[in-house]
Chains A and B, each alone.
Chain A
Amino acid sequence: MWPCVANPFKLLQRHRVLISKAACVQQLHSSSSEFTDSCYDGLYPGHISTTPIQKALLAVGSGVAALQDPYRHDMVAVLGETTGHLALINLRDRMRNDPEGYTILTERPRIRLSTLDLSKMASLPDGTFGREYLRFLDDNHVTPDSRADVKFVDNEELAYVMQRYREVHDLLHTLLGMPTNMLGEVAVKWFEAAQTGLPMCALGAVLGPLRLNASRLQSLLTSLGPWALQNGRQARCVLSIFYERRWEQSLEDLRQELNIEPPPAILSASKKRST
């Protein structure tokens, strides 16, 4: 322990030299800071290598920060990355065992405004997945580009799985029919916790309800919650679906394929920010 701690920067530097020598890859354009322009660090753009102590400190610190200010999405992201190692391995293995999931792992699609053909999706008929997703983005004023990049996962493939999980989150909202208010988010978190087993989802699922008012809490506990949990368990792995090729598919059809029941109550997006 002591040698590791005594020369942490030497270890980091050695690590960095090895990385930069061995993997001076074409740096993909990344939305993170300009520091990634040089072959400075990491197994992938945006990667920051961390010692176990740093990961532990990050997990605790980000947990506290996220609890104090739930709107700090970057802290929630960091918490997920530092605590999710085992769950990510599990997810990755599930994806590998699924043929479509395996394709995703090899092709590495990213869901971003630049990769989506918005005009084509808008021209799709109502009830198709693509059209409903676009409607969801418009109604809730969100964009797929607001997801933070993965930084602290020390395996390039697992980092992609994490990134995919983040990008699929909005699609899940569409699939489950949940808006982005607190109740909708908590319902999606319960689904994700049951599906992925990520500790950050579990934490969000447990602590999220604390911020709901009484009537929403009741609706969560009686109908939405059990529905989300049950579907999370029985549904196919949502990360294994190549959504980018299924925009034309009807939403109902997709739900059936994934083994997801339609939501119990249609929460309209007009019910804005709760609590």
Chain B
Amino acid sequence: MAAPMRQLVRSVIRLSHRNVNVTAAGVSGRSGCCWGTPSCRCFSDDRSTHFGFETVPEEEKAKRVYKVFENVAQKYDVMNDAMSLGIHRLWKDTLLHVMHPQPGARLLDVAGGTGDIAFRFLEYVRSQQERQKRRATRSMQTPSWQDISNNYSTEDEEGPQESRAVVCDINKEMLKVGKQKADSMGISSGLSWVVGDAEELPFDDDQFDIYTIAFGIRNVTHIDQALQEALRVLKPGGRFMCLEFSKVTNPLLARLYDAYSFQMIPVLGEVIAGDWKSYQYLVESIRKFPDQEEFKHMIEDAGFYCVQYLNFTGGVVALHSGFKL
């Protein structure tokens, strides 16, 4: 759920890009929904966007999102468990099952901060590998001496290293926490940590088999740019997968969910992490994010095919998936 973010240095470059992108890109994610507050300041020349329910200039949003995640990084995982009552683990496990990665796949996890998706990916691929090995040995019931010696010579550690996961996040604090987790879990091979902005990824074209972004894309200032970057870095045939909070369809569940979000979550933030405002921002940003259908269209506009979504927990979370063909 980390926040890919804009760095101050890049804002100048972006200002020049903006004129180029205005006509090209899809529109819906961009404009600030000035939700009614005649704000004290006049943003006539600056483009503005939403930061939770507040309206802010675009550059400021990036800075403020960075600050939010810098503040919450240490307690991020604890808070996730507390807020979702542990259900976020099920969501992420389901993402991996839908993804069904095969050994040798290369994953880019954007806004991957504390590494939840990357760890699960590596574990999944490794267990797949074990299964394949077992299947292979079972099929070789009566091997000849030649076969056995061949097996020993080719049996090296290449397998696990073939699948690589790259965790990319704009926030160094979140990556730091992720690295500490990896160290304590003893995972080192096949994992790298990169600082980068989802709107301008530091990777070449056609690099990855799978691109995931879990609970991060709603914090991006220009969602369409992030989608275009995703398209760029994926190999042809690669899969884009996005796990994000979305609209609950059932009205009763929606009211309960709203009540829980707005009453309980900031309180949890204050008590556990000592930070009310960051969690207030988080629940508000969920409400500002487009719903399932609208986001699906945004993904299609960016150039992905076979876009579909799955709702989890009644629409609290949606998994969107698309292919680069």
Residues of chain A whose beta carbon lies under 8 Å from any beta carbon of chain B? 5-9, 12-13, 16-17, 20-21, 24, 33-35, 38-40, 48, 51, 53-54, 57-58, 61-62, 64-65, 72, 74-75, 78, 151
Contact = CB atoms under 8 A, between A and B. Distances in A.
Name the interface size band of chain B: 20 to 34
Given A9-B262, A12-B262, 14 more contacts: A5-B259, A6-B258, A7-B258, A8-B262, A8-B263, A24-B40, A33-B277, A34-B67, A38-B39, A40-B54, A54-B266, A61-B268, A62-B271, A75-B271
Interface in B133-175: none
Interface string B252-275: 000100110011101110111010
A48 B56 CA distance: 19
Q: Is the interface of B mostly helix, strand, loop or mixed?
A: helix
A61 B265 CA distance: 12
Contacts of A12: 262
Contacts, number: 74
B36 interface: yes
Interface in B66-88: 67, 71
A151 B39 CA distance: 23
Interface centre among A57, A72, A74 (most CB of B within 10 A): A57
B53 A21 contact: no
B30 interface: no
A9 B284 contact: yes
Q: Would you list the 6 A-B pairs with minimal beta carbon distance, nearest first?
A: A61-B271, A57-B267, A8-B262, A5-B259, A39-B40, A35-B277
A218 to B, nearest CB: 35
B37 A58 contact: no
Contact of A58 (B35, B271, B284): B271
Contacts of B71: 33
Contacts of A34: 64, 67
Contact of B37 (A5, A20, A62, A72): A20
Contacts of A51: 263
Contacts of A58: 267, 270-271
Interface string B32-51: 00011111110000000000
Interface string B268-298: 1011101011001001100100000000000
Q: Is the interface of A mostly helix, strand, loop or mixed?
A: helix
A74 B271 CA distance: 9
A102 B259 CA distance: 41
B264 A9 contact: no
B259 A8 contact: yes
Contacts of B36: 13, 17
16 contacts: A8-B258, A9-B287, A16-B37, A17-B36, A17-B37, A20-B40, A33-B67, A33-B71, A35-B64, A53-B263, A57-B264, A57-B267, A61-B270, A62-B270, A72-B274, A78-B271
Interface centre among A16, A51, A54, A62 (most CB of B within 10 A): A54
B40 A5 contact: no
A54 B40 contact: no
B276 A65 contact: no
A21 B264 contact: no
A182 B261 CA distance: 38
Given A13-B53, A48-B277, A58-B270, A38 B262 contact: no
A74 B40 CA distance: 31
Contacts of B280: 48
B38 to A, nearest CB: 7
A54 B267 contact: yes
Contacts of B54: 38, 40
A24 B64 CA distance: 21
Contacts of A65: 271-272
B270 A78 contact: yes
Nearest to B255: A6
Contacts of A40: 54
Interface in B221-278: 255, 258-259, 262-264, 266-268, 270-272, 274, 276-277
Contacts of A57: 263-264, 267
A1 B270 CA distance: 24
A130 B97 CA distance: 68
A75 B41 CA distance: 35
A72 B270 CA distance: 12
Interface centre among B54, B255, B272 (most CB of A within 10 A): B54
A80 B277 CA distance: 19
A16 B67 CA distance: 22
Contacts of A53: 263
A42 to B, nearest CB: 11
Contact of B267 (A17, A20, A39, A61): A61
A7 B287 CA distance: 13
B245 to A, nearest CB: 15
Contacts of B40: 20, 24, 38-39
Contacts of A72: 274
A64 B38 CA distance: 40
B86 to A, nearest CB: 18
